[in-house]
Chain A
Amino acid sequence: MGVADEKAVVKSAPNLVVLKPRKGWLGIDLKELWQYRELIYFLTWRDIKVRYKQAVLGIAWAILQPVLTTAITSLVFGLLLKVQSDGLPYPVFVLSALLPWHLFQLSLQKSSISLVGNANLITKIYFPRIIIPISSVLAVMVDFLISLVLLFIAMAIYGITLKWTVLWVIPLTLLAVFAALAVGLWLSALNVQYRDVQQMVPFLLQIWMYATPIVYPITTIPEGTLRYLYSLNPMVGVVQGFRWALFGGSPPDMTLLVSTVAVLLLLVGGLFYFKRMEKTFADVV
């Protein structure tokens, strides 16, 4: 059969798609991701819509969940165990950490099972696979933004005034999201092949939560080497940063830097790993 000479054909025609086995470690194709931005939007929109369908309270759950967790934690740790709280009212102390933590936790949970949960799409249609974990994380963001309002209300009730540092909440939130996405990329790709991952995630998150200064203040951890090691947990920097941005006190200095570097390393590794595994998703999922 007279197949056209392939060299002659390799020209950058407008929407030429090349099929060939890809080798090695390729970076993320941001241009392609941009072309698929509407799909990211629709998948995010779907996740949000579906989450609260047929729930009487609907989106109110985004507020109720942190309220209930705060109430329980305040009761156990604040009232019964009398854990320190940097001189803040315990509920506000906990809530300020629970919000970024919930964002991280839910994002990680959703993104780690996202590929397997969307297996029907992956085996039928082409699109950059990374869209799936990304949109599952974005869907959680919406809940977070709603619950943030709750935090400001709680602060007003306790008579805590906002400082200009509150703007730091934005980059800190991004840091939490990237941390979740970084780990989520690793776990979602692993979960395609090994379903053990989705069984492990709840335990991982439980340990992770106690390794983050949510119910206790960071001052519990001795300063020095141990504190730096502790800060390798990206959520330490995020939570510490949140408290500082909202309530003032000592800025998170090195803690935050260590956490940010940890996130970046995880994210770059996750991107590469994901890209490498991506081509076999449709075959093994």
Chain B
Amino acid sequence: MANDSYSVIVKNIGKRYKIGAAQERQDTLRDVLVAGARKIGSAFKRGKLAKATDDHIWALRDVSFEVKQGSAIGIVGRNGAGKSTLLKVLSRVTEPTEGYGELRGRVGSLLEVGTGFHPELTGRENIFLNGAILGMTRKEINARFDEIVDFSEVEKFIDTPVKRYSSGMYLRLAFAVAAHLEPEILVVDEVLAVGDADFQRKCLGKMGDVAESGRTVLFVSHNMSAILRLTEETIVLDKGRVIKRAPSAEAVDFYLNRGMSKLGERYWEDDEVPANAVPFRPLAIRVVDKDGVVSDSMRSVDPITIEIDYELEQDITGLRVGFYLNSTRGEAIFTSFDTDSETLFKQYNMRAKGVYTSRCVIPANTLNEGRFVLGVNASSYRVRRYFQDDQALSFSVDASGAPGTHWPEPRPGGVRLPLAWDIQEKG
């Protein structure tokens, strides 16, 4: 078997971070001196040299896998599972602490579109700058310039500084440059979370083209339908380790059903909440049936209550907390926020520091049978997204007694509404 058929080989890769470096960053010399002095002080107190305490965490451990040339591999996992660290190691942004890996061919990484864009420079200038940063030569950029501009749909503003662009235009241009990079190995992280639906479709199409043209794609996403559409195989990461590798459909099923509490309730542990969520702190999410029981299985004919507990460490203006309800295939069913109603929107324009529960009821006879995934989002519109967990909790719905269940057949679709039919006999 020729090894050349693999374009990525990773063997026992591990990445260790110093907790001190990541969390209570010792940014100044003073901090280091103080910390050092404290260590010596406590060592003296105990009358012995303080042994090296384990203040390291392994963001990745023993990760081994290989990717055949020309295949598209998905990588899924919860927040903090090590996905981003893995991509950073693969794209050589950071070095592994241990292990060995090989990449055959030029690696293009899209860890974030628009990396290196400079607000003062024009669209045209940024195409060249960003292209060079992403690893294109000037010749390549020149050859693809028109295509890039075309794809981005910003030709009218190509000589305007990008600081005057709308966020949509900015993202389109940024993605356009990245999409025309033609590396042998493409590493992508969540770029599809941006832009409007149309543009997302366009991006997905472009990524599909890349995969079909024989290049290798490593794709990290929370969007299960994109994973299913674009990748053949998927790796599931948990706590820095590979816990499953399987054809994507199987791996996605495994991922969605695993770890997510089957009890209808989920608590966020500290390491699952990114540091940049502060001052928002998610605590728990649960589904509750009509009798007030927290459970994994709901009935379609009863109302279903969804509760999200969270803490605000300081006042937040314009906060909205809500959920996305999706199928396990990643299709969106609906989205709802706690300040959707005008009254609550006005009343909670400023939400004071404290602990809250946002609760809503999905009316009886709404959901179809099947398994559903709740994603949580806490954000201030157009200001900041504090926290997002696209797979916060899953639960099942049993449709017995719902309209049409006298025919024991599966019905497609996420909802099963008791619509008022009327049958008229015409003659």
Contacts and interface: CB of A to CB of B under 8 A. Distances in A.
Interface in A1-19: 1-4, 6, 8-9, 13, 15-19
B159 interface: no
A63 B64 CA distance: 58
Given A42-B129, A125-B115, A126-B93, A18 B120 contact: no
Given A1-B245, A46-B129, A21 B91 contact: no
Contact of A9 (B3, B13, B106): B3
Contacts of B93: 122-126, 282
A204 interface: no
Contact of B6 (A4, A50, A196): A4
B92 A17 contact: yes
Contact of A3 (B9, B96, B112, B121): B9
Interface in B59-97: 64-66, 88-97
A38 to B, nearest CB: 5
A46 B120 CA distance: 10
A121 B133 contact: yes
A282 B84 CA distance: 13
Interface string A188-200: 0000011110000
Contact of B109 (A9, A50, A120, A124): A124
Interface residues of A, number: 43
A126 to B, nearest CB: 4
A82 interface: no
Interface in B1-58: 1, 3-4, 6, 9-11, 13, 17, 21-22, 25, 27-30, 32
A126 B96 CA distance: 14
Interface residues of B, number: 60
A49 interface: yes
Given A9-B3, A9-B9, A125-B111, A19 B101 contact: yes
Contacts of B21: 283-284
Interface in A118-143: 120-127
B353 interface: no
A194 to B, nearest CB: 5
B92 A195 contact: no
Contacts of B112: 124
Interface in A176-224: 193-196
A283 B95 CA distance: 9
B253 to A, nearest CB: 20
A20 B90 CA distance: 10
B146 interface: no
A22 to B, nearest CB: 6
24 contacts: A4-B3, A6-B11, A9-B3, A16-B102, A18-B102, A19-B10, A19-B13, A38-B138, A39-B132, A42-B132, A46-B118, A46-B129, A49-B120, A49-B125, A50-B118, A53-B120, A54-B120, A124-B112, A125-B115, A126-B93, A127-B133, A194-B27, A195-B28, A283-B17
Given A18-B100, A19-B90, A120-B115, 6 more contacts: A1-B65, A3-B10, A3-B65, A6-B100, A15-B184, A42-B129
